[in-house]
A and B are shown apart, each in its own frame.
Chain A
Amino acid sequence: IKTAPFDIRFPSTNQTKHCYTRYIEFHKCQKERGEGAPECQKYARYYRSLCPSEWIERWNEQRADGVFCGPY
């Protein structure tokens, strides 16, 4: 069983930004390389490990409603 690797950009205990950044990177990757591109799956695994599922559901709902705040 593996989890998201240590990311030097987020050295502190609070990993909120790490989770959010991986989620954004996944969608950025999808936008740039197309839906379902295999390179993007690693970002997907990272954010699913790091982020609380409630947050992922909320962000996915916001995306569906067109009101997600992030850049991708």
Chain B
Amino acid sequence: MTNNSCLDRRHPYHLVDPSPWPITLSFASVPTTVGGVLAFHSIRAGGLLLGSGLGMLLYTLFLWWRDVIRESTYAGLHSACVHQGHRYGFLMFIASEVMFFIAFFWAFFHSALGPAVESGAIWPPHGLMVPDPWGIPFLNTLILLGSGASVTWAHHALFAGSEKAAVNALAVTIWLALLFVLLQAMEYRDAPFTMSDGIYGSTFFVATGFHGVHVIIGTIFLICCAIRHYLGHFTPTHHFGFEAAAWYWHFVDVVWLFLFVSIYWWGGH
């Protein structure tokens, strides 16, 4: 791994050692995507291929990020300069995710603002029992807003060096996140319409579905932060992993607010 010449480098950047994880990740993407497409076309082998591909993908990500933790927390290679680069990089990643969601909101508004004559030129289309926004969706809004507050609480506790408070605040955030996921899963199970129910079904489930995936990813990220904090990886001045998780969580919250206002409230009866 690293040797003495690394400390003689006379620059603050981190030139990473060669790693097998990037190419492993790309190999793992092949069964994931091929299996996914097969599964969408109801071919039996698809499910198995998709599952094993996802397993490989997740394990590779674990190994890759474990190496990042080894390089940063244990080997100290993340200087202030590297830290700044990560901040910009992660913000740009979130910006790309925003663009991703803009695509699905565009699709929704394209169909909802000028509803097709074939389905009665009204939105929501005739005959669809759409969710009452002031039921579970509103509760979910409050849950996410609350979890945004608790993750900020955890951040301030980290700044102040109050480790116990930070653990508690992270725990509250994670419980709220899991509650959101549970409630959305119940809404999906009990929905009287499916993704195949016309353009309403398509736009509803693609937008809320991708949001749900992002919530799950954000929850896993927060759980990893909780574990790392418990192991003492974070200091009051250097805890970028936590900050990235908190930014991602706020992004997920904001996307939900847009979903609630546009699709559930404006797009409902």
Interface residues of chain A, those whose CB is within 8 Å of chain B, are 16-17, 20-21, 69-71
- The residue on B at minimum CB distance from A24 is B121
Mostly, the B contact residues are loop
Chosen A-B contacts, 11 in total, with CB atoms closer than 8 Å, are A16-B117, A17-B114, A17-B117, A17-B121, A20-B121, A21-B121, A69-B120, A69-B125, A69-B126, A70-B120, A71-B122
What A residues does B118 contact at CB under 8 A? 69
The winner among A16, A69, A70 for most chain B CB atoms within 10 A is A69
Minimum distance in angstroms from B200 CB to a CB of chain A: 13
Interface residues of chain B, those whose CB is within 8 Å of chain A, are 114, 117-122, 125-127
Q: How far is the CA of A45 from the CA of B118 in the complex (A)?
A: 22
What B residues does A71 contact at CB under 8 A? 120, 122
- The residue on A at minimum CB distance from B120 is A69
Q: How far is the CA of A16 from the CA of B126 in the complex (A)?
A: 19
Check if B122 sits within 8 Å of A20, measured CB to CB: no
What A residues does B127 contact at CB under 8 A? 69
- The residue on A at minimum CB distance from B116 is A16
What A residues does B120 contact at CB under 8 A? 69-71
Q: How far is the CA of A70 from the CA of B117 in the complex (A)?
A: 8
User: Which 5 A/B pairs are nearest by Cβ-Cβ distance?
Assistant: A69-B120, A20-B117, A69-B126, A70-B120, A69-B119
- The residue on A at minimum CB distance from B127 is A69
Minimum distance in angstroms from A3 CB to a CB of chain B: 20
- The residue on A at minimum CB distance from B125 is A69
Q: How far is the CA of A20 from the CA of B120 in the complex (A)?
A: 9
Q: How far is the CA of A7 from the CA of B122 in the complex (A)?
A: 20
Minimum distance in angstroms from B94 CB to a CB of chain A: 38
